[in-house]
Amino acid sequence: MDIGFVYRAIILEFLLELYVFYALTACELHRRQRFPLRLIAGAAVLLVAAYPVAAIYQRFGNDVWGRSFVYLLLFSLSVVHMCFVFDEGKSTVLFCCSVAYAAQNLTYKLFLILWCGIRQLRLCDGWGSNFDLIYHILYYAFFVAAAAAVYFFLVRRLLPYLSNRRLDKGMFALAVLILGLTVILCSFEDIYFAMLSDGGENRYTVFEYFVLRQTGNVFSVICCAMVLLLSFKTVEGKELQQQLQYLRHAVHQSQRQYEISKDTIDRINVKCHDIRYRLEMMAAAHQDVSPEDMGDLQESISIYDASAETGNHLLDVLLTEKSLYCEQNGISFSCMIDGARLSFLRDGDLYCLFGNIVDNALEAARQIPDRERRVVNLVVKTKGGILLIQEDNYYTGELEFRDGLPQTTKEDRDCHGFGMQSIRMIVHHYGGELTASAEEGIYHLSIVFSLDGQPVGEPAGQKA
């Protein structure tokens, strides 16, 4: 048999196993547009690259660092492919791919424990010409069972925490740790224990060598399992930290809402007091109300005309209060909202979503010196099976975007800047897509939801 063919088969088999776990760990990631085309094109490039990589493996595969380089190169190429097909940050993709690599190595090492036992006990001596066929049937049957077990007991626990897509430098460092452990340890064992086998591959005439080999396999399994558990604990801790930030943000928003409500009530009380005083003066003087005085009175009570009617009671209350705030601060707030189509959002999510959208816009508008530019437009409309939320407002200064979201310009970043993250978390929770941009002093926010239960976009917004 052509030795080059053997090495190519090893490379392709490794990639196949790795991509099985990629499919499992990346199922919560959002796909880029034209996902099938990107997937197929990237896979074709990777298959072409497998030929020269196999040649490198054949030339340098008997050295620990040479073999490690081969698998690191294959892994790097596959990560580039995943970044090409998934619309996520590079640290998130790298983390998912590294977890998949650790899971693949864990599955492989579990099989080696079984296979070394079979070889040592000579249970396969009678397979004869069917050796390769029986070996591959046994291997893939074990792979499917072990992959399913690794997924259900370890990988699946990570997926809910990957959906928030907020992996920091600690996650990146953990990904590097996973990669280093799996590649170097596996290469070291395979090379040096192969040198010790003298009764056929993975068979040892010296029983102590067999014990050492199995000890190494068990140690590799423990390392991979510990790395996966550490990954879970790390992302779980990150999620708890985010929940704490969210609670702090909610407390801050409640305090801010109280202050807005208090200002609104105070303003209403002042207006009512003015109206009452002027009416008492007119009554005491037995004066008829002149057109000018009537105009003043109508202007005084115009604050009560800010009531919003959207077709959604909760949204009506929220936007009415925001409209009162706008009247107080000289902001033109324009709404065209089909609130009845927002019934698929839970009340808490609806209030948080629109509360943050409008609060951010009003905060930006309030900072504009020119009152004519203190304009906020909010539109909610449907077209076919798509619901579109659009918000536009003027702003001052410079907006910095990071990971597709505008960053807060306030110094207190612990209490600010979390609103947009909350908006995106809610949008992604309901399978929607969010885009934000700023140009020529105008900030644009666009949110798209599917009303027919299908993922948004073509196929943007889909999950693998």
pLDDT digits (tens, 9 = 90+) for 444-459: 999 999 887 655 544 3
Residue 276 in domain? no
Cα end-to-end span (Å), the chain: 39
- Quick check: 163 and 194 in contact, CB under 8 A? no
* Cα separation, 78 vs 129, whole angstroms: 35
pLDDT(396) > 80: yes
Q: 211 and 95 in one domain?
A: yes
pLDDT at 458: 40
Is 408 in contact with 395 (CB distance < 8 Å)? no
Within-domain flag for 235: yes
The pLDDT value recorded for residue 137 is: 92
Whether 410 is covered by a domain: the verdict is yes
Q: Count structural domains, the chain.
A: 2
State which residues form the domain around 357: 312-464
Share of the chain above pLDDT 70, in %: 73
Q: What is the pLDDT averaged over residues 17-21?
A: 91
How far is residue 103 from each of residues 22, 111, 150, 377, 404, measured CA to CA in Å?
10, 13, 7, 49, 31
Q: Do residue 346 and residue 228 come from a single domain?
A: no
Beta bridge partners of 445: 391, 436
How far apart CA 213 and CA 235 sit, in angstroms, is 33
What is the tens place of the pLDDT at every residue in 162-203? 554 455 566 567 666 766 776 777 777 777 777 776 656 667
Q: Based on the fold, state whether residues 236 and 316 are members of the same structural domain.
A: no
Long-range contact set of residues 395-398: C-beta below 8 Å, sequence gap at least 24: 395/364, 395/365, 395/367, 395/368, 395/438, 395/441, 395/442, 395/443, 396/364, 396/367, 396/368, 396/369, 396/441, 397/367
Asked, for residue 89, whether it belongs to a domain, the answer is yes
| DSSP single-letter state for residue 153 | I
Is residue 462 very low, low, confident or very high in pLDDT (cuts 50, 70, 90)?
A: very low
For the segment 250-264, the average pLDDT, to the nearest whole number, is 60
244 and 332 share one domain: no
Neighbour tally for 261: CB within 10 Å? 13
Among candidate residues 191, 172, 213, the one with its CA nearest the CA of residue 79: 172
The count of residues in the chain is 464
Compute, in degrees rounded to 10, the torsion defined by CA atoms 440, 443, 449, 454. 40
149 and 242 both lie in a single domain: yes
The pLDDT assigned to 115 comes to 86
Q: Residue 261 domain-assigned? A: no
- Judge contact between 155 and 20, C-beta under 8 A: no
Last residue of a domain, one of 248, 269, 297: 248
Residues 325 and 207 in one domain: no
**For residue 348, is it within any domain?**
yes
Residue 5's pLDDT is 77
Partners of 449 in beta bridges: 387
Distance CA 313, CA 342 (A): 11
User: Which of the listed ranges 188-192, 236-240, 252-256, 412-416 does the model predict with the highest average pLDDT?
Assistant: 188-192
62 and 193 belong to one structural domain: yes
Note whether residue 35 is domain-resident.
Answer: yes
Token duo for residue 360: 């951010």
Tokens 């009531």 sit at which residue? Answer: 307
Q: Which of 98-112, 196-210, 436-450 has the highest mean pLDDT?
A: 436-450
Q: What is the pLDDT of residues 218-228, one digit of tens each?
A: 887 887 777 77
Kind and range of the H or E run holding 135: helix 131-150
Q: Are residues 384 and 459 in the same domain?
A: yes
Q: What is the pLDDT of residue 31?
A: 86
Assess whether 233 and 340 both reside in one domain: no
Contact of 99 with 186, CB cutoff 8 Å:
no
In a shared domain, residues 228 and 316: no
C-alpha to C-alpha distance for 98 and 332, rounded to whole angstroms: 50
Q: What is the pLDDT of residue 460?
A: 36
Residues 6+ apart with CB under 8 A from 277: none
Domain end residue (candidates: 248, 264, 291): 248
* Both structure tokens of 295: 């105009």
Beta strands 332-337; 375-383: pairing state: parallel
Q: 219 and 117 in one domain?
A: yes
DSSP secondary-structure letter at 408?
Answer: P
- Residues pairing with 392 in the sheet: 377, 444
Distances 52 to 78, 140, 286 between C-alpha atoms, Å: 15, 26, 102
Whole-number pLDDT of residue 447: 94
pLDDT of 321 higher than 90: no
Domain boundary among 248, 270, 285: 248
**pLDDT(411) > 60:** no
SS3 338: coil
Predicted pLDDT of residue 454 = 57
For the stretch 334-386, pLDDT in tens is 888 888 888 888 887 888 889 889 988 998 898 898 888 999 999 999 888 89
What number of helices (H) and strands (E) belong to the chain?
Answer: 12, 7
Q: Identify the CATH number of the domain in which residue 464 sits.
A: 3.30.565.10
Residue 307 lies in a domain: no
